[in-house]
A and B are shown apart, each in its own frame.
Chain A
Amino acid sequence: MTIQTSDKPVVEKKSLRDAYGATLAELGASHPAVVVLDADLSGSTRTATFAKKYPDRFFNMGVAEANMIGVAAGMAVSGKIPFASTFAVFATGRAWEQIRQSVCLGNVNVKVVASHGGITVGEDGPSHQAMEDIALMRALPHMGVIVPADAAETASAVRFAADHVGPLYIRLARDKFPVVHREATPFRLGKGEVLRNGPDVALVGCGLMTSTIIEAADRLADEGIMATVVNMATIKPIDEELLITLATTCGAIVTAEEHSIIGGLGSAVAEVIGENIPVPVIKVGMKSEFGKSGPPEALLDYFGLNAAAVIEAAKKALALKNG
């Protein structure tokens, strides 16, 4: 395996939801069938950017998420490509059964794109911090689940979603994320992205935690531990082939997600590894607990969603591997 030395961790940050709004507005021109629905959060989700350009194809459904999903499904079976947006808690929680019955059961072409995933919602506190949304969406047949690592990947994922036929959940965030991709490359559903190769341990992240595992890999390298770094933006369908390769070449895996360790990326990885090529899989993420109010950075540290936690997990995984 070749070991590449990467640039210093990037600190430039960009907003995923800004990228979402801007990309929707582009799609408005290229895709006349695209329609956008929101539940009174269009400013926050940035669907307002689309609404301004295409008012006739934007539908504010009011604070009524269940109905919004049903309306989106009705539009989809009538030939439209609906993007339905609100905060992740409400999109996937309040309207879960509507997504199950009206969208996934019939494999209906609705895109649920939620902002405000994860703990970095910050000061609004646990009522607004979705830590279970990936698990909720991943459990649904036909649903694809995408958690972009940065703004550029958000733009490509949203463009991809408009052309992909079938239900998709795209999880975005309130906070700006460090730039991982200098430029947007076409999104490949179900394909993990190897950012760096190293023989000792594989770090697999999604969303905000992709930049965190890059930072952790740099610090591990300072200690002589060379990590493979993977951005796993598609949680479902998960890239089984890549995961099995990682288990073979590294023999130990750490997952990192801004989500509960129950049912998210870590679970998806452990499911594949356990059934194919058992090696240690240590999950960094939220334990089964609710968040708190506070500044995003402080919350990430408080709940162990940082590079230090990834480094500790990597060492634990290595110890088990060499056990």
Chain B
Amino acid sequence: MKALERTDDVAALSAIARDLRIDILTMLNASGSGHSGGSLSAIDILTALYFSRMDHSPLYPRGKDRDRFVLSKGHAAPALYAALARAGYFDRSHLLSLRKLNAMLSGHPFAPSTPGVEISTGSLGQGLSLAVGMALAGRLDGWKKSVFAMTGDGELQEGQVWEAAMAAAHYKLDNLVAFVDHNGLQIDGAVAEVMGVDPVDEKFAAFGWATRTVNGHDMAEILDAIDWGVAQKGKPSVIVAMTVKGKGVSFMEGKASWHGTAPSDEQLAAAIAELTLA
């Protein structure tokens, strides 16, 4: 099983990520609401997963022998939808009906309506548990594949994340690779000011995980870290991705105010101009 479009070429992947950023902003503009900042900070990692490292296929979205991805920070749904549409899970035209009544694409990932969405998320703190369940089931059934999950950094304030972290290490889930999108921001401001979570890597290490910190916008580093995570034996692995919220659009970068805001027509045009030039 292979995605229709797959490459190990860093430049090609970066180009895909650029296109997906434009898709994200375009669909958010069309819906008039939704989460820009956290979608843009996550998209390079999703690009690396869906177009290079994950073994998956839109032809067999429920095939047993596939890698799985759980978007625990469900509000970054636009990033997931952009990747799934590009990978061929559904027609790109759906992107423009994001959040509309009876559309395929709900405000947060909703598995029953959207091909390629493994499981429904949106309430923070729950996705790592879901991934632990998948990884345990996979081990029982002898899957060779991995379960990937992504949480936000503010999301780490949820106690359930640490229940799941404990369980993953207890059950030695080396088929589980988690990402923390460590963009330093949440809704009310800087994570460090709202409720500090650092040092994230040391916390996971103390829970028994293998940890690695990368620049979450450097494609080569991301690819390398995924390979590292998949290769771990006897423990789950976490990749702490240092990211910039709103990455790629200068007026959104590092601004908590862009967490849950969609771009206007003018802002979209400016953003696309900037992304196209870069």
Contacts and interface: CB of A to CB of B under 8 A. Distances in A.
Contacts of A67: 129, 132, 160, 163-164, 166-167
A105 interface: yes
Interface in B125-150: 125-138, 140-141
Contacts of A69: 129
Nearest to B109: A106
B122 interface: yes
Contacts of B138: 78
Contact of B136 (A64, A74, A102): A74
Contacts of A73: 119, 129-130, 133
A266 to B, nearest CB: 30
A74 B112 contact: no
Query: What's the interface size class on B, roughly?
Result: 35 or more
Interface string B179-216: 00000000000000000000000000000000000000
A64 B163 contact: yes
A77 B129 contact: no
A197 interface: no
B218 interface: no
A70 B132 contact: yes
Given A61-B167, A67-B129, A70-B129, A79 B137 contact: yes
A35 B184 CA distance: 39
Interface in B218-250: none
B29 interface: no
A59 interface: yes
Given A67-B129, A101-B121, A107-B112, A80 B159 contact: no
Nearest to B158: A66
A56 interface: yes
B130 A59 contact: no
B126 A70 contact: yes
Contact of B129 (A66, A97, A100): A66
A62 B171 CA distance: 12
Interface in A67-110: 67, 69-80, 82, 97-98, 100-102, 105-108
A31 interface: no
Contact of B111 (A35, A77, A79): A77
Contacts of B125: 66
A57 B137 CA distance: 9
Contacts of A64: 160, 163, 166-167
Nearest to B113: A106
A105 B110 contact: yes
Query: What's the interface size class on A, roughly?
Result: 20 to 34
B276 interface: no
Contacts of B170: 62
Contact of B132 (A57, A71, A97, A105): A71
A98 B64 CA distance: 25
Interface string B38-53: 0000000000000000
Given A62-B167, A70-B160, A106-B110, A75 B133 contact: yes
B120 interface: yes
B7 interface: no
Contacts of B112: 106-107
A284 B166 CA distance: 44
Contacts of B129: 66-67, 69-71, 73-74, 98, 102
A73 B118 CA distance: 11
B126 A102 contact: yes
A66 B134 contact: no
A119 B148 CA distance: 43
Nearest to A97: B123
A70 B123 CA distance: 12
Contacts of A56: 140
B76 to A, nearest CB: 16
A77 B159 CA distance: 23
Given A62-B163, A71-B136, A75-B133, 14 more contacts: A66-B160, A67-B163, A67-B166, A70-B128, A74-B130, A75-B137, A77-B134, A78-B133, A79-B64, A80-B137, A98-B129, A101-B121, A106-B111, A107-B112
19 contacts: A62-B163, A62-B166, A70-B126, A70-B133, A71-B130, A71-B136, A71-B164, A72-B133, A74-B129, A74-B131, A74-B132, A74-B135, A77-B130, A79-B141, A100-B123, A102-B119, A102-B129, A106-B111, A108-B119
Interface of B: 64, 70, 110-112, 118-123, 125-138, 140-141, 159-160, 163-164, 166-167, 170-171
Nearest 5 Cβ contacts at the A-B interface: A74-B133, A70-B129, A78-B137, A67-B163, A64-B163
